[in-house]
Structure 1
Amino acid sequence: MDETFLAMLDRNAGHADAFDDRFDGLEHEQHPEAVTVCCSDSRVLQDHLWGNDEPGRQFSCGNIGNRVVQRTEEGPRVSGDVLYPLAHTDTDVAVVVGHTGCGAVTATYDKLTDGSSEPPGIEHCLDLLAPGLEPGVDLLPDELAREDAVNHLVEYNVDRQVEFLMESEDVPESVQAVGAVYDFQDAYDGKRGEVHVINVDGETDPDALRERHPEIDSRVQRRWTY
């Protein structure tokens, strides 16, 4: 057995010791307060970034590019991973979390600008991101450095995912959709590891967001308005 997995089992033993009594009342049902969809990047510890260590509190989804879109026979629809808690567990907050330096956004940018390709499984994911990102590529300021272009598009992608949630007939109107960016590159003013709010229910203007939601004034920050 590979030593890496053996070490993982050892860490799980510690987890089980700490969590053994935290599942009381949750064995047969769940009612998480929020569903989050985050990029499945090893640098982004989705539950940890929210300080979440309580089973049942948060429904956590992950994929490359923090997508809420999936293909169905009826066309693009909200992914079942994200939709399930909104439809079945009384969850009424959906949070899309992008992150600086996103590899999926980078690969989609390369695909759209120079035709770069990836293995079929990755191409499938990029093809779900590309229709939303393509207009953003065209809007990028001229002579923007590659890293800055990617981080601009990280915001643009989060906006598109929030928009898709809000426009879906499958998502209850009572759901609040929030878009945010997790920063570990010092791309925003603040500490590495902070979450910066860039979109609430489709509103993307920082001044308007601060006025509507003064309680999050210090966490509202965007790199790009377009």
Structure 2
Amino acid sequence: MNQTVVDLLARNVDHAHEFKTRFDDVQDAQYPGAVTVCCSDSRVLQDHIWGNDEPGQLFSCGNIGNRVIQRTDEGDVVSGDVLYPIAHTGTKTAIVMGHTGCGAVTATYDDLTEGLDEPAGISHCLDLLKPPLEPALDMLPDDVSRAGTINRLVEYNVDRQIQMLLESEDVLDDVDCIGVVYDFQDVYDGERGEVHVINVDGETNVETLQAAHPELEARIERLWEY
């Protein structure tokens, strides 16, 4: 067995000791307060970001590009990974989390502008991101750097994923849909590793969001209001 697996299993022993009584109330059912859709980037530690160490609190989904959509024979629909807790466990909050320097958004941008030759599985994921991202290309500022471009597209992608949730007939109207960006590259104000709110139920204007949520004023920030 390679050393990476050996080390992971060793850490799991510590986890098992720490968590052995924490499953008592959730062994037979789960009622998570939120479903989170994060990028599967190794730098984005989904539960750790929220300080979550209690089983049953969050239903965590991960994929490249924090996508809420899957492609089926009937067309593009909200992914079952995202929809399951909304449909079956009473979850009323959906959080879509992008992150600074996202590789999936970068690859999608490069594929749209230059074309990429990726394995079929990766191409499929990029093909799901390209339609929502493509309209943004003509709106990007001319004087922004490549890194700035990517981080603006990260916000735009989160907005489009939230829009897909809001427009889906499978997501009930009483589900709150929140878009955020996780920053570990010092792009936003605040500390490295903070989560910044950029979208609440489709509203993206910073002043409007800050007025509506004064308790979170310092955490509401955008790079791009297009």
Match of 1:161 in 2: 161
Q: Decide which moves more: 3-12 or 110-119.
A: 110-119
Q: Does 1:94 align with 2:104?
A: no
Q: Hey, what's the Cα distance between the residues in 2 that align with 1:123 and 1:139?
A: 24
Match of 1:41 in 2: 41
Kindly report which structure 2 residues correspond to 1:1-226, keeping only aligned pairs within 5 A, or say none: 1-226=1-226
How far off is 1:119 after superposition? Answer: 1.1
SS at match of 1:115: coil
Q: Hey, what's the Cα distance between the residues in 1 that align with 2:212 and 2:148?
A: 28
Cα shift readout 1:56-108 (whole Å, capped 9, x = no counterpart): 00000000000001011111100000000000000000000000000000000
Q: Hey, what's the Cα distance between the residues in 1 that align with 2:85 and 2:213?
A: 25
Structure 2 residue identity aligned to 1:182: Y
User: Unaligned 5+ residue runs, structure 1?
Assistant: none
SS at match of 1:179: strand
Root mean square deviation, CA, Å: 0.6
Cα shift readout 1:164-213 (whole Å, capped 9, x = no counterpart): 00000000111000000000010001111000000000000000001111
Structure 1 residue identity aligned to 2:169: E
Q: Hey, what's the Cα distance between the residues in 2 that align with 1:116 and 1:19?
A: 44
Q: Hey, what's the Cα distance between the residues in 2 that align with 1:35 and 1:143?
A: 37
How far off is 1:25 after superposition? Answer: 2.0
Q: Hey, what's the Cα distance between the residues in 1 that align with 2:223 and 2:142?
A: 15
Question: Scaled by the length of structure 2, what TM-score is found?
Answer: 0.99
Percent identical: 65
Question: Scaled by the length of structure 1, what TM-score is found?
Answer: 0.99
